[in-house]
Structures are given as C-alpha cells and as structure tokens.
Chain A
C-alpha cells in the first residue's frame, strides 16, 4: 500500500524567505505525484504534478518540485514566499502505469500548514 509522509506539520516563515516542504512516499511501483494547496475557506487546488519526464516540475504561483526517485521524495520549493502563500499544503500520490490513466485514488500526506509573516 502507498503512504505519504510530510514531516513539517507547521512552518512559519517571513515574507521573501525561501521555502522547502518535504514529501516522501512509500510504494514499490510507479507513481504520479501531486502537490495540492488549500487556502483558508477554499477548495483543494492543484499546484503541480509529476507524471513522467523532467523530474523538476514547475507549477503555478512560482512553486516547483523535484522528484528524486532514489529518495522517494517530491519536495516542494519556492525561492521567495509571499503573505498570500499562507495555506495548507498537501502532497499526494497515486498509482501510475497501464491500465491506470491518472484516475486512481490519491493517497495524501497529513499536510503542512504554512504561515507567512508579513
């Protein structure tokens, strides 16, 4: 069975600081990887996704993530955070490969609450 670990439960940063949120997964097969964000009172929104190809993935709002297969990691980064990045961030995986087309159920991490201090 898949599992996802997010080791940072709550991260507090000042504006303009650099961000890295950790995500490690456990699964023996091929996975798709996702980062979702939930702003206060809003829906889960996709930040970025990795299916195959270049392991460095760029997403919306200046976020990027790097898939390191040997470390089973998919850490989220942003060089300079803004107050508006205050939100809950979720790493998720699902099983990839035939006959799955990305419709497989997601396994989520526990989430990381990010607070940006102006």
Chain B
C-alpha cells in the first residue's frame, strides 16, 4: 500500500538553527499538507500546497516557515530560525484531486528545539 514517508523521525536542534523536515508524498497525489501537533494539543493545519504554490496557510505559518517541492518526489518544510515553541510533531499529508478523497498522513517528525 502506498504511503507518505517522513524523515527524520526525530530531530533535535538548537534554538535559532534552521531545520528542514522532509516528506515523500504518495506518487500520484497532487495536494500536499503540513500539520503539527504540540504535545498535549490538537493537530493543527499549517499549510497546503498545490501546483507548486501555497494554496492556503494558517496564521501559525509565518515568515519563519517555508515549503518547497524541490524535485518530483520530495516536499519539504523549512523553519528558518527555530524557537522553543516550535517543538512539536510535524505531520506531512497528501491527497488526490478527485472528489470525496481523504488525506494520507506520514508517521510524523518529532522536532525538539533546545
């Protein structure tokens, strides 16, 4: 069964450092998403991406965040200067562009900012 894969599974970084979280969506999917879950809180939408551009972003997704599809398979989330409050589980997801579809999620990257 095709699946969304994310690397790394756990990333520890120092405050102020840049991190890149990587995702490989399901190959025939055209919509890509990033969500995050701070420990003990809800899974929150960050950004959606379609046709090589952001289609929607939340207020969490400020100038410190960026997304990119650098090649035909990867979808990345970059945090330029990490803050302690960026510590969370980050989930990548992808979906088709057909009706009545659902998002398929990766297993997440746990980001710890120290």
Interface residues of A (CB under 8 A from B): 4, 32, 34, 36, 41-46, 49, 51, 90, 92, 101-103, 105-111
Contact partners of B102 in chain A: CB under 8 A: 34, 46, 49, 102
CB distance from B24 to the nearest CB of A (A): 13
A-B contact pairs, 18 of them (CB 8 A): A4-B42, A43-B105, A44-B43, A44-B108, A49-B102, A51-B100, A92-B43, A101-B98, A101-B101, A102-B98, A102-B102, A103-B101, A106-B35, A106-B103, A108-B35, A108-B44, A110-B41, A111-B43
Q: A101-B98, A102-B99, A102-B102 are in contact. Are A42 and B43 (CB under 8 A)?
A: no
Q: A34-B102, A111-B42, A111-B43 are in contact. Are A105 and B95 (CB under 8 A)?
A: no
Q: Which residues of chain B in 75-112 are interfacial with respect to chain A, using CB atoms and an 8 Å cutoff?
A: 91, 93, 95, 97-108
Q: How far does the alpha carbon of A44 sit from the alpha carbon of B103 in the complex, in Å? A: 10
Q: How far does the alpha carbon of A4 sit from the alpha carbon of B45 in the complex, in Å? A: 13
- A108 and B95 form a contact (CB under 8 A): no
Q: How far does the alpha carbon of A32 sit from the alpha carbon of B103 in the complex, in Å? A: 12
Judge if B4 is at the interface, Cβ distance under 8 Å: yes
CB distance from A82 to the nearest CB of B (A): 21
Q: How far does the alpha carbon of A45 sit from the alpha carbon of B93 in the complex, in Å? A: 11
Residue in A44, A46, A51 whose beta carbon sits within 8 Å of that of B91 in the complex: A44
**Smallest CB-CB separation from B46: which chain A residue?**
A105
B38-65: CB near A (< 8 Å → 1, else 0) gives 0001111100101000001010000000
**Smallest CB-CB separation from A105: which chain B residue?**
B45
